[in-house]
Structure 1
Amino acid sequence: MPQETVITVSTSDFSITIDENPTNGQVIGIVQGSTNDGAVAFSITEQTPEGAFSIDAASGELKVADETLFDFETNPTITGIVNVANGAVSENASVVITLNDLVEETVYEGDLILRSQQEVNDFGANNYMAIIGNLYIGDPEEGTTTDIYDLTPLQSLRSINGDLSISNNPSLISTVGLNIQNLNGALVIFSNETLEMLEGLNDLTSVHDLVLSFNAGLLDLSGLNQLTSIEDRLILISCPLISNLDWLSNLTSFGGDLTIINCNSLTNIDGLSNLTTANGEYNYFRITHNSSLLNLNGIENLNTEIYHLEITMNSSLTSIEGLQNKRVTTTLSIIENPFLENLHGLESTTNISNELNIQNNNSLINIQGLRNLETAETLQIFNNEKLPNLVGLNNLEICRNLDIRGNNELADFCDLQNLFINGSNNSYIAIYNAYNPTKQDIIDGNCSL
Structure 2
Amino acid sequence: MRIMMTVPLLTLACSASPDLPGGRLASAKVTDTSGGEVSCADAPEVTDADVIVAAGAGPCFSSDLVRIVGDMLLTEDQWEPEELSCVCAIEGSLYINDNPALSSGLPFSNLEELTGVLYIEDNPQLTTLEGLQNVDSVYSLRLVNLPALVDMDGLRGLEDAGLSLRIEGTAASTQGLENLETVFNLRLDDYQGTDLAGFTALTAVNDLYVGNCPSLTSFTGMSALETMASAQIGQNDALVDFTGLSSLTTVDGELYIVNNPVLTDLTGLAALGSVGNLNIVQNPQLTSLDGLQVLSTVNRLTLDHNDQLASLSALSTLTIVNYADLSYLPSLTSLTGLEGLTRARRNISLYNLEGLTDLTGLEGLTRAQGLSIRDLDGLETLDGLDGLATLTGALTIRDNAALERLDGAEALRSVDDLRILSNGVLVDVTALHSLDEVTDDLTITGNTSLATADAEALRDAIGAIGGTVTISGNAP
TM-score greater than 0.5 by the shorter chain:
yes
Partner residue, 1:207: 228
1:435 and 2:450 equivalent? yes
Taking a change above 3 Å as real, the CA distance of residues 234 and 358 of structure 1, as seen in their structure-2 partners, is same
The whole-number CA distance in structure 2 between the counterparts of 1:122 and 1:343 is 52
Which secondary structure does the structure 1 equivalent of 2:384 belong to?
A: helix
Task: Give the drift of 1:257.
Answer: 1.9
Deviation readout 1:21-63 (Å, 9 max, x if unpaired): xxxxxxxxxxxxxxxxxxxxxxxxxxxxxxxxxxxxxxxxxxx
Task: Give the drift of 1:216.
Answer: 2.1
Taking a change above 3 Å as real, the CA distance of residues 274 and 232 of structure 1, as seen in their structure-2 partners, is same
Partner residue, 2:324: 309
Q: Quick check: 1:164–1:183 contact (8 Å CA) kept in 2?
A: no
Task: Give the drift of 1:346.
Answer: 2.1
Taking a change above 3 Å as real, the CA distance of residues 431 and 129 of structure 1, as seen in their structure-2 partners, is same
1:158 and 2:180 equivalent? yes
Question: Which residue identity does 1:431 align to in structure 2?
Answer: G
1:287 and 2:309 equivalent? no
Q: Quick check: 2:335–2:359 contact (8 Å CA) kept in 1?
A: yes
Which secondary structure does the structure 1 equivalent of 2:248 belong to?
A: coil
The whole-number CA distance in structure 2 between the counterparts of 1:184 and 1:119 is 28
Structure 1's consecutive aligned runs of 4 or more residues displaced over 6 angstroms after TM superposition are: 118-123
1:299 and 2:315 equivalent? yes
Which secondary structure does the structure 1 equivalent of 2:332 belong to?
A: coil
Structure 1 residues 258-277: aligned runs within 5 Å: 258-276=278-296
Q: Which has the higher contact order (CA 8 A, sep 6+)?
A: 1
Aligned residues: 331
The whole-number CA distance in structure 1 between the counterparts of 2:249 and 2:205 is 14
The whole-number CA distance in structure 1 between the counterparts of 2:136 and 2:396 is 57
Taking a change above 3 Å as real, the CA distance of residues 179 and 242 of structure 1, as seen in their structure-2 partners, is same
The unaligned stretches of length 5 or more in structure 2 are: 1-108, 111-132, 462-473
Structure with higher Rg: it is 1
Deviation readout 1:284-316 (Å, 9 max, x if unpaired): 000111111112111111222x22100110010
Taking a change above 3 Å as real, the CA distance of residues 293 and 153 of structure 1, as seen in their structure-2 partners, is closer
Q: Quick check: 2:169–2:190 contact (8 Å CA) kept in 1?
A: no
Question: Which residue identity does 1:265 align to in structure 2?
Answer: Q
Q: Quick check: 1:105–1:128 contact (8 Å CA) kept in 2?
A: yes
Which secondary structure does the structure 1 equivalent of 2:170 belong to?
A: coil
Structure 1 residues 99-178: aligned runs within 5 Å: 106-117=135-146, 125-138=154-167, 146-152=168-174, 154-169=176-191, 171-178=192-199
Task: Give the drift of 1:249.
Answer: 2.2
Q: State TM-score, norm by structure 1.
A: 0.65
1:349 to 365, 385, 390: 365
Task: Give the drift of 1:269.
Answer: 1.2
Deviation readout 1:147-180 (Å, 9 max, x if unpaired): 31103464344212312211244x4444344444
1:333 and 2:349 equivalent? yes
Question: Which residue identity does 1:214 align to in structure 2?
Answer: Q
Partner residue, 2:255: 234
Q: State TM-score, norm by structure 2.
A: 0.62
Q: Quick check: 1:284–1:308 contact (8 Å CA) kept in 2?
A: yes
Deviation readout 1:301-336 (Å, 9 max, x if unpaired): 1222x2210011001001112112222221111011
The whole-number CA distance in structure 2 between the counterparts of 1:181 and 1:422 is 55
The whole-number CA distance in structure 1 between the counterparts of 2:377 and 2:179 is 53
The unaligned stretches of length 5 or more in structure 1 are: 1-72, 75-103, 139-145
Partner residue, 1:255: 275
Q: Give the superposed CA RMSD.
A: 3.2
Taking only the aligned residue pairs, the percentage that are identical comes to 22
The whole-number CA distance in structure 2 between the counterparts of 1:244 and 1:316 is 15
1:322 and 2:344 equivalent? no
Which secondary structure does the structure 1 equivalent of 2:355 belong to?
A: coil
1:183 and 2:192 equivalent? no
Partner residue, 1:244: 265
Q: Quick check: 1:150–1:175 contact (8 Å CA) kept in 2?
A: no
Task: Give the drift of 1:105.
Answer: 8.5
